Amino acid sequence: MENKKVLLGMSGGVDSSVSALLLQQKGYEVIGTTLEMFSGSSCADKNTSEDARNMCDSLQIPHYIYDCKEEFKNKVIEDFIHCYANCKTPNPCIECNRYMKFGVMWEKAKELGCNYIATGHYAKTEYSEKYGRWVLKKSNSGKKDQSYVLWNIPKDIIEHILFPLAEFEEKEQIREIARENNLKVANKPDSEDICFIPDRNYKKFLENNSDIRPKQGNIVNSKGEVLGKHIGLYNYTIGQRKGLGISHTTPLFVLGFNSAKNEVIVGEENELYKKEIVVTDINLLLMDEILEPIEVEVKTRYSAKAAKAQIMQNGNEIKVIFEESQRAITPGQSAVFYIGDIVLGGGKIKC
């Protein structure tokens, strides 16, 4: 008999709550869990745990709370700080998914005798006859699809992952299910902040939690000519136009950084475009290795439109050659590769 026991990540929000309901309706034995990851955050504070516990009580399912603050600090927060200290722009949700929601939670699931873990992500898993393996795919939800932030999960657990919201196209459908079933969270607003920076002031967070401090330096153009002064490299991001504090005959944008010289490099918009990038820290879900060039679509930001490109692997790096040049590609962000709606894999943008 199939083991239909599933550990579901519960945030106390409408997505995870409706996920629990849908899993129950499909005959799964659902256990809820909340990973407490950062004190005082919108994602892991006492109110979140309490909301999740209350929802589990109303659905008559058990609920476990695990204190994962130390793991979260070591794997997610330290990476966040390290990236900014090295002039990169991180996506902490991707690290959290890899190490916490599909790392720690899977280990807890096995301890509880569960054959599956589930979350309220908008993504899809299924067995592909073509590739002879379980694959991660885009959900049906279009703009809300979250497959981009899941490229770094371990491929050997894909067959043990359930995404109950995979087939829904609109968030309003989820809220309607919640209302029909009298779930108190039906109208609870979504949280879109970085969970450990609920006030969105990441600069203050960095200064309060690391040795990163404002250090004035030069703003230069691509020729090295000094145009002004900056107030610390971590205060700027590639593609930024406002807040540079310099006047010029044409609009200027941040192109990159010279950390050795403590310089912010700026230029005109046409200089923001790149046709080739290198990706490192790769995780391939569809194959073990790329042996020859592959035509794919690539997303370089969560909100970016996928762009056609050719990728080829060289050891631990992948070279990406776009069909058309892409704007404001940012080191530290993820490049995620798709074949149709299947996630081939991804990596961190190096340059």
Residue positions annotated with a catalytic role: 96, 195
Coil, helix or strand for 273? strand
C-alpha–C-alpha distance, residues 121 and 98, integer Å = 13
Inter-residue contact 217 to 264 (CB < 8 Å): yes
Strands 29-36 and 5-9, by their bridges, are: parallel
The CB density around residue 199, as the number of other CB atoms within 10 Å, is: 10
Of the candidates 271, 277, 273, which has an alpha carbon nearest to the alpha carbon of residue 337? 277
* Cα radius of gyration rounded to whole Å, the chain: 22
C-alpha–C-alpha distance, residues 84 and 234, integer Å = 6
Question: Going by C-beta distance under 8 Å and a sequence separation of 6 or more, which residues neighbour residue 28?
Answer: 4, 5, 6, 116, 162
Residue whose pair of structure tokens reads 């439109």 in the numeric block: 305
51 alpha-carbon distance from chain centroid: 24
Give the burial string for 37-48 (b: 16+ CB within 10 Å, else e). bbeebbbbbeeb
C-alpha–C-alpha distance, residues 278 and 18, integer Å = 40
